Chain A
Amino acid sequence: MPRIAHDRRLADHASAWVRSFDCSHLSILIVCRGPIRKEAIDVFREMGVAKVGMLLSEKDSVVYPRALAPDVRIMPPERIHPVPDYTGATKAERVERVAQICAIAHEHGYTHVFAGYGFMSEDADFVRSLEKAGLIFIGPSSRVVEAAGAKDEAKRTALQVDVSVTPGVDDLTSRALFAKHGSVAGMVAAAGALGVSADVDGAEHLDAAERLLQASYAAGVDLLTIDEIAAQAQTEVDALLADLPGKRLRLKAIGGGGGKGQRILSAGDDAASLYREILSEVKATGVGDNKNVLVELNVEETRHNEIQLIGNGTWTVSMGGRDCSLQMHEQKLLEVSITQPMLTAAAAARRAAGDEAMAAALETECTLVARMEAEGERFGEAVGLNSASTFECIVDGDRHYFMEVNTRIQVEHRVSELCAILRFRNPDNPEEHFDVDSVVEVMGLLAAHGPRLPRPELAPRHMASLEARLNATDDSLSPHAGGEISEWSAPIEGEVRDDQGICLPNPDTGDFVPYRLAGAYDSNVALLLTVGADRQASYEHLAEVLRRTELTGHDLSTNIGFHYGLVHWFLGTDVHARPTTRFVSAYLVLVARLARAAEKIDLDTAYDALLKAPEGEDRKAWATVSLMKRTLVLRPAQRLLDRPHTFSAWLSSVRRRVDWSGDSPRWTVNPVTVLHGVYELLEMLSPAPSRPSARIWDHDRALLDDAMAFYASVQAELGTDDWATVDAALSGASPAFGSAEQWAAVQGAHRGHQAGLGVFTLLVKVACETGFYDLAPAADGSIPVPAELLTAAAHAEAKRTLSPPPPQSADQVVAVSGGMFYAQEAPGMPPLAEKGQVIEAGQPMYIIEVMKMFNKVKAPFACTVDEVLVSGDATIVTKGQPLFKVTPRERVEVVDPAVVRAAAKKQTKEWMTGL
């Protein structure tokens, strides 16, 4: 079990040097939310910090019933500080919030502030405000945030310290300014006319332009219009495309994050309008805002690798790397550790097994990681990194390109800390040392004692680690809000679960406290991590965690099934296969095809066809067997068909147990073992006396046990467990063992136990026809993705298939009750829904005042308002009266379930004749 919670206090250490790094004098205010908040509360308390406080926003307490932040349960009320929200919707609100945070800190005696990885964590202004208020930010200083956080600045630094960067242009605005005025003097004069000046002595023209621009940002003045920069963007794009024929470019806002503010363009696209879109998206259109945008080569086959760095302002050390290529819509889903020790060992193991292609690929990967780690450390030292940050790169084959530095702790930080221990040795007495195994802990230490901390060594911890982000999403990985968790089984041995405190029980009753996933912020619910002696072990353990987790509730939809399928995909192919960032959406297309195929399978038809008494045989015997085995076979099969991601997991788990060489697929193992395997995969075999309907029925268990025992005896008698041999022996007319009288019963048992299992053969056959097994790694571990899985149309179709159909949509929105209709919330405010406006589902659309209560009514579905049908304001309306004529965004096609079932019966019959 990885050691997570333990005493971290240094105040009682034998060594005075170690004691000098004690952090109990800190008082820390945590201003973020999410799993990092509870982790930080726990770690800081374990470090012996004097007091730990947190903010609590209205959305985490009063806006949604039964959605009170769970970490409140472990905090004394006087350490919980209510705020309207953790950040601000507008710039003005943000400024207000920062002031409020400083005020709370002063009023309650907090000396330090921790911002996790959320809203305020990469905001240089925020850090500066804290610094000005005399508070210490547990994170990089504002200077570092600016140097490393702004993408263009970071790129320049990277170039200076010989870090590999993507070809492109990082000084678009400087070029635009110079293009506008033609000379340094011209620029200086124009700037001066607007009251902006900077020291440009000896600077070459683009550098001078940059200095003037920086001065203009400080002064809150625009030296360029958006149109002028947009025009320059077009010029630069045209020039780059001329140099890189056939390639695509990526425009990136310097202040974006999490995928925001980026656009891809090809030759012929309108760069100017894309530039404007980007600026709007990252809200950089204000006067005096830095409107620079990077223009870069778009690396197509990208893998996303990152290096965990820590530094104290003088040294920077890498803690190892993470591969985060398994992502969708720029949101990471599954993160894997990549460290030199693990990759070296893996390469050696593959070579020993005779797999030279993979051994070479792993060695290449190892070299790549070494290079990225070295570059990361150089970069960190160049900017004087004085806390934790992540050095992010994109990898294409054996080349890597620096992308950006995230000057904060990241969600997936545990992946790295589980693989490395930071050992701080007393430089004067190397015997004295202390170990740190938490990034949060080291951030605290760096904030308190940074400059004094010596450069740490890396001591080994676990060889490999893996993290799955458990999100409240539906089968298409789109957010699904509103569900309520009512039960979550305890973590199993070796499961690290960062769950924000959701699993903290009611202290009085010990019962689980139901928690509503209101969807007020992002869809992340928890983080699940496992470790292993190698990557294979860490994947196997995560599969086991997911298998045994019972997470249930009302209207609950999470991606636990998705992760199960994904983990099994790699276990079924190669855990060292290297997916690109396009893998997940391609994989989802395949899962969607499985869902579609599942609709065409009618299990009853298939089963009845298989259990039909052959011509001339005893009908009664067959009817009995048919009844006895019906739930045994069909119950797990139906579960697979109902859950496409679980279906995917099963298909991957049996990948190597099917022989495709004949006309029809054949199992290479005993189908009874396959059946047993399905029950295990669905976690229906382990005892749970208080949940009988979640487990195999008792009579089915008895049958399955009999079948397994029977074949065990047969194998013992025949002296082999090779299925083909056993099957042939049992099908022979003369007894292969035992007496002739017994042989009839033995043969009968063989036929009986095999009967109906063709259902699983059907499942595999139908799945194969969808092309599910065509997605596979090549010999060198790369994963070629069929082009048809990469199109936008395929992705849209997959989403439509896997996402539940939208609620009723119509051409009108009618009044939910009688009362007084108001178009706006209060006099003087703009109307909530005007002609031409695009409304999202759940967005407030109008007010109905009944009995003096002004009820905000939300739109039932996404639509565009064509016409407002109510004239005037403060009009009495009746229930059901049409208020708006609308065009719904998605038209629901109503499918008659009876028709679908009939089609499935027909199709299944056809398939069964083929098998």
Chain B
Amino acid sequence: MPAPPNVTNPLAPAAPASAEPTLYDRTRARGDDLRAKPKVASTVDKRIRQHLKGRMTVWERIDALKDPGTDPVVLYQNWGAKLDGASIVTAVCQVGGRPTAVYGHDFTVRAGSINATNGAKLARLMRMAAERGIPLVGMNDSAGAFVPAGVGGLDGYSEAFTALRRISGRIPSVMCMFGYNAGGGAYLPRQGSFVIQPGNTFFGLTGPGVVKSVLGEDVTPDELGGPSVHSQSGVVDRTADDELDALRQTRKLLSYLPSCNEHGPPTRTTSDPLDRKTWAVDTLLRKAIDSPTGFNTPFDMSIVIQDICDHGEYFELQPTRARNIITAFGRVDGDVVGFVANNSAVSSGQIDVDASLKTARFVRFCNIYNIPMIFLEDTTGFLPGTDQERRGIVHAGRAMLDSIIDLRTPRLLLIVRNAFGGAYCAFNCYPTGADHVLALPTTRLAVMGPAGKEFVYKKELRAARGSAPAKVAELIAEGRTRDEAEAEVKAWLAGIEADLGVRYEEELMNPNEALSLGSISEIVQPDNVRQALGTSLRFHLSHYTPGPLAGVQREFH
């Protein structure tokens, strides 16, 4: 019978015989065992299974997240009846040079499930992070409640939910969704500030199996709760290619955020001169406006943001959802700024339900964490239509408006091109509390867009249209056929309307009235945008004292 296979090295030199351990030696050895227990509980075969799914273990994820060459301080290492940490790792790591609270489910230990006790462990970490004012990163990879734990497991979740809510607004948190998280594991992270989901992961109320049995719906995990689904609803703020990418993005995002609500975000001296001319903005607008579609040519507003920011670097939130508005962090002269910018390249830059909600959330976050904001306006208004009304555009628009009114950090508005009607009113104009409103000469600020000529030139248009039948008769008298006459008069009317349109655009769709009323403080040339915004920001920031929000709690959203 051939020898059974093994994968050891039987020829490895045997360990030298050691002396009989003393009582003290044995005590120390027990200490070593305890320290090693969380990692040992994760047996090799379980780690192999995790790796077979293409996922990292929680310890590997911590390695990828923390600063190289630093060691995490693991807290409550031996929590739980089995003394193995209860399948959640809670630690404080150095991330971007700052101590950061980190937790991660250990899927290799009882599938990372929440039982009666580890919800409490998670809550302790969160409370400590809030007390010390350090950010929180969650690496979620949990199969959900540990069923044998019964109600204790549910209570565990409630304790964790509550703790996370109670620290919300005190410290920012970034939640990574790894693996398949269902039920509580899906809710808990969204209580955090930002959620990042890589590909090949799922989270949702329940998995496809339950959905199939309850509703008869046949869906794949990706179709039900993958990144392509959640990024469209705003449940997820960023998608990533894989776990490593998600953790890298986490580090990047954290570099823009303060440790807690008592401070502003970390500043960073920059070598990019504040007086650098923004030629890209100038060229972009020139190309758009000198093109055959003139002032009605869409362009990508992110290029303006890129040209304003230090060394062109910015970080977008929800980049694949409602990109008719761009929400992004960037730095101007070393200070972190929250940008909200209409983007005419997508859906003509209209503001719809998704754009409003996306903006409202972002503005509220900046408000809580002392982040100044710059609004870049180029929108023809809120999107009309039955779809929007059914989804509650009034409600959503109100949420956006309220968030802007409530904003207490320094906030600037640059009107880039279009600013019509209600959208102008809502979008950080002076009455809503803007600190400084600047405008480019390409500004078209009016109660209504070009259709407004119908109202302003009502008399002229009525007269022209009224005289049309008479003109037709005249032409017939001169020898034209009826068709010819009607065509000619139609062309003449179209010419009148076009001329009035041009007149409207020149007389009313410009910044003059706004300037005279003080709705716009001054005109800025497109190549000077960075310097103008940066100088104003520096001034207003210097008179702003960062600190926690205080005051009346406003209704809803």
The reply to whether A61 and B312 form a contact with Cβ atoms under 8 Å apart is: no
Of the candidates A487, A625, A692, A749, the one having the most CB atoms from chain B within 10 angstroms of its own CB is A692
The reply to whether A693 and B243 form a contact with Cβ atoms under 8 Å apart is: yes
CA distance A850 to B351 in the complex (A): 12
The reply to whether A850 and B350 form a contact with Cβ atoms under 8 Å apart is: yes
Majority SS at the chain B contact face: loop
The reply to whether B6 and A852 form a contact with Cβ atoms under 8 Å apart is: no
Question: Digit string of B268-299 for contact with A (CB within 8 Å is 1, else 0)?
Answer: 11111000110110011001000111001110
The reply to whether A507 and B271 form a contact with Cβ atoms under 8 Å apart is: yes
CA distance A578 to B269 in the complex (A): 55
CA distance A690 to B252 in the complex (A): 15
Within 8 Å of chain A (Cβ to Cβ): is B110? no
Residue numbers in A under 8 Å from B3 (CB-CB): 743-745, 747-748, 751
The reply to whether A628 and B48 form a contact with Cβ atoms under 8 Å apart is: yes
| Complex interface: stretch among B121-129, B302-310, B391-399 | B302-310
CA distance A846 to B363 in the complex (A): 36
Given A61-B283, A73-B311, A692-B63, A749:B48 Cβ within 8 A: no
The reply to whether B6 and A851 form a contact with Cβ atoms under 8 Å apart is: no
Within 8 Å of chain A (Cβ to Cβ): is B381? yes
The reply to whether B297 and A617 form a contact with Cβ atoms under 8 Å apart is: no
CA distance A747 to B4 in the complex (A): 8
Within 8 A of B (CB), among A740-770: 742-749, 751-753, 755
The reply to whether A851 and B56 form a contact with Cβ atoms under 8 Å apart is: no
Within 8 Å of chain B (Cβ to Cβ): is A630? yes
The reply to whether A852 and B347 form a contact with Cβ atoms under 8 Å apart is: no
Within 8 Å of chain A (Cβ to Cβ): is B313? yes
The reply to whether A692 and B348 form a contact with Cβ atoms under 8 Å apart is: no
| Complex interface: stretch among B7-15, B82-90, B473-481 | B7-15
| Complex interface: stretch among A161-169, A530-538, A677-685, A708-716 | A708-716
CA distance A693 to B58 in the complex (A): 12
| Complex interface: stretch among A62-70, A264-272, A383-391, A437-445 | A62-70
Pick from B10, B64, B302: contact of A65, CB under 8 Å: B302
Residue numbers in A under 8 Å from B349 (CB-CB): 851, 853
CA distance A572 to B64 in the complex (A): 36
CA distance A854 to B63 in the complex (A): 49
Given A513-B313, A713-B9, A852-B348, A825:B293 Cβ within 8 A: yes
Residue numbers in B under 8 Å from A851 (CB-CB): 348-350, 380-381, 383, 449
Pick from A80, A628, A852: contact of B44, CB under 8 Å: A628
Residue numbers in A under 8 Å from B277 (CB-CB): 77
Question: Digit string of B43-55 for contact with A (CB within 8 Å is 1, else 0)?
Answer: 0110110011010
Residue numbers in B under 8 Å from A80 (CB-CB): 279
Q: Nearest Cβ in chain B — how far from A845, in angstroms? A: 15
The reply to whether A58 and B6 form a contact with Cβ atoms under 8 Å apart is: no
Within 8 A of A (CB), among B28-58: 44-45, 47-48, 51-52, 54, 56
The reply to whether B52 and A631 form a contact with Cβ atoms under 8 Å apart is: yes
The reply to whether A752 and B293 form a contact with Cβ atoms under 8 Å apart is: no
Question: Digit string of A537-567 for contact with B (CB within 8 Å is 1, else 0)?
Answer: 0000000000000000010000000000000
The reply to whether A62 and B303 form a contact with Cβ atoms under 8 Å apart is: yes
Pick from A554, A614, A699, A742: contact of B241, CB under 8 Å: A554
Q: Nearest Cβ in chain A — how far from B248, in angstroms? A: 8
How many residues from B make CB contacts under 8 Å with A? 72
The reply to whether A628 and B45 form a contact with Cβ atoms under 8 Å apart is: yes
Within 8 A of B (CB), among A671-705: 689-694, 697-699, 703
The reply to whether B311 and A507 form a contact with Cβ atoms under 8 Å apart is: yes
Within 8 A of A (CB), among B220-247: 241-245
Q: Nearest Cβ in chain B — how far from A878, in angstroms? A: 11
The reply to whether A748 and B311 form a contact with Cβ atoms under 8 Å apart is: no
CA distance A694 to B418 in the complex (A): 48
Residue numbers in B under 8 Å from A743 (CB-CB): 3
Question: Digit string of A520-535 for contact with B (CB within 8 Å is 1, else 0)?
Answer: 0000000000000000
How many residues from A make CB contacts under 8 Å with B? 74
Given A508-B310, A631-B51, A853:B9 Cβ within 8 A: no
The reply to whether B5 and A62 form a contact with Cβ atoms under 8 Å apart is: no
CA distance A743 to B11 in the complex (A): 10
Given A506-B313, A508-B268, A699:B63 Cβ within 8 A: no
The reply to whether A513 and B48 form a contact with Cβ atoms under 8 Å apart is: no
Given A691-B244, A693-B244, A751:B2 Cβ within 8 A: yes
The reply to whether A617 and B311 form a contact with Cβ atoms under 8 Å apart is: no
CA distance A61 to B292 in the complex (A): 21
CA distance A691 to B350 in the complex (A): 42
Q: Nearest Cβ in chain B — how far from A709, in angstroms? A: 5
Nearest A residue (CB) for B331: A508
The reply to whether B2 and A486 form a contact with Cβ atoms under 8 Å apart is: no
CA distance A751 to B3 in the complex (A): 8
Q: Nearest Cβ in chain A — how far from B89, in angstroms? A: 15
Q: Nearest Cβ in chain A — how far from B268, in angstroms? A: 6
Nearest B residue (CB) for A743: B3
Of the candidates B9, B51, B450, the one having the most CB atoms from chain A within 10 angstroms of its own CB is B9
Nearest A residue (CB) for B383: A851
The reply to whether B271 and A508 form a contact with Cβ atoms under 8 Å apart is: yes
Given A631-B48, A693-B60, A713-B9, A817:B312 Cβ within 8 A: no
Nearest B residue (CB) for A621: B4
CA distance A793 to B73 in the complex (A): 62
The reply to whether A751 and B381 form a contact with Cβ atoms under 8 Å apart is: no
Pick from A58, A73, A616: contact of B283, CB under 8 Å: A58
CA distance A80 to B280 in the complex (A): 11
The reply to whether B7 and A690 form a contact with Cβ atoms under 8 Å apart is: no
Of the candidates B52, B68, B252, the one having the most CB atoms from chain A within 10 angstroms of its own CB is B52
Q: Nearest Cβ in chain B — how far from A134, in angstroms? A: 27
Residue numbers in A under 8 Å from B311 (CB-CB): 73, 506-508, 513
The reply to whether B52 and A508 form a contact with Cβ atoms under 8 Å apart is: no
Of the candidates A73, A631, A854, the one having the most CB atoms from chain B within 10 angstroms of its own CB is A854
Nearest A residue (CB) for B293: A854
The reply to whether B296 and A854 form a contact with Cβ atoms under 8 Å apart is: yes
Q: Nearest Cβ in chain B — how far from A301, in angstroms? A: 44
Within 8 A of A (CB), among B296-330: 296-298, 300, 302-303, 306, 310-313
CA distance A65 to B524 in the complex (A): 23
Within 8 A of B (CB), among A197-242: none
CA distance A697 to B283 in the complex (A): 50
Nearest A residue (CB) for B269: A508
CA distance A508 to B243 in the complex (A): 26
Within 8 Å of chain A (Cβ to Cβ): is B94? no
The reply to whether B11 and A713 form a contact with Cβ atoms under 8 Å apart is: yes
The reply to whether A625 and B7 form a contact with Cβ atoms under 8 Å apart is: yes
The reply to whether B8 and A706 form a contact with Cβ atoms under 8 Å apart is: yes
CA distance A356 to B12 in the complex (A): 48
The reply to whether B48 and A752 form a contact with Cβ atoms under 8 Å apart is: no
The reply to whether B1 and A616 form a contact with Cβ atoms under 8 Å apart is: yes
Within 8 Å of chain A (Cβ to Cβ): is B344? yes
The reply to whether A692 and B5 form a contact with Cβ atoms under 8 Å apart is: no
CA distance A805 to B311 in the complex (A): 37
The reply to whether B297 and A854 form a contact with Cβ atoms under 8 Å apart is: yes
The reply to whether A694 and B6 form a contact with Cβ atoms under 8 Å apart is: no
Q: Nearest Cβ in chain B — how far from A828, in angstroms? A: 9
Residue numbers in A under 8 Å from B331 (CB-CB): 508
Residue numbers in A under 8 Å from B280 (CB-CB): 61-62, 68
Residue numbers in A under 8 Å from B56 (CB-CB): 692-693
CA distance A506 to B450 in the complex (A): 43
Given A706-B9, A751-B2, A826-B293, 13 more A-B residue pairs with CB atoms under 8 Å apart are A62-B303, A65-B302, A68-B306, A506-B311, A509-B268, A509-B313, A513-B313, A616-B1, A621-B4, A627-B45, A742-B10, A825-B292, A853-B298
26 A-B Cβ contacts within 8 A? A62-B284, A65-B300, A486-B245, A508-B268, A508-B272, A554-B241, A617-B1, A617-B2, A622-B5, A625-B6, A625-B7, A629-B7, A630-B52, A690-B63, A692-B56, A693-B56, A697-B51, A710-B9, A713-B9, A717-B11, A748-B5, A749-B9, A752-B6, A825-B292, A851-B449, A854-B298
Cβ-closest 7 pairs across A and B: A826-B292, A853-B348, A752-B5, A621-B4, A713-B11, A692-B60, A745-B10
